[in-house]
Amino acid sequence: MHALAVRYWLSHPRISMMSRFAHLFRLISRKLRVATTVDKSWKDDCIFCLRHDPKLNRILCENTTFFARHDNYPAVAGHVEIVPKRHVASFFELTDHEVLEAYALLREARSKLIREYDTPDGYTIGVNEGKAAGQSIEHLHVHLIPRYFGDVKDPRGGIRQAAPNCEPDSWL
């Protein structure tokens, strides 16, 4: 409604206060129905959206927007994933607030892992963004993988070894 029409509607003596409240209630409830049908923030066939199922997810810790879970197929002991509670496929769909929450939970998960396992010599932190990058579940998850000297023959290049033409010897 135009502001002038709203002012007339609110001040008109023939429109009862109850009618005004009923109309506002209808407007608000219509907006709420639209919001709940359009913004479905979880999927019932997504392993990460079913976070409360202990058969699927062993949760290490959580905050308001993310949870840290033990990877079901860990690369090494202590391999965890930081997962948003709302269903988003891409890191780039996160809000600024969610990025900060993810980082805070990443640090908390790291602290818990240090207490639970041997202190690692390093970490690999990574996101497989899209199928071309190896994303197998279309729900964002950030890997936190403890690393130890000797766990691979040559760790130089780290995450770059996931891409073709990675030759650490050529970097010298």
Distance CA(34)–CA(40), nearest Å, equals: 11
Residues labelled catalytic: 141
Contact 75, 120 (CB under 8 A): no
CA 143/CA 73 separation, integer angstroms: 12
| The pair of three-digit structure tokens given for residue 55, joined into one six-digit string | 């058969």
Rounded CA separation 88/140 (Å): 6
Count Cβ atoms within 10 A of the Cβ of residue 147 and give its class: 0-12 exposed, 13-18 middle, 19 or more buried.
middle
Residue 134 near residue 163, CB atoms below 8 Å: no
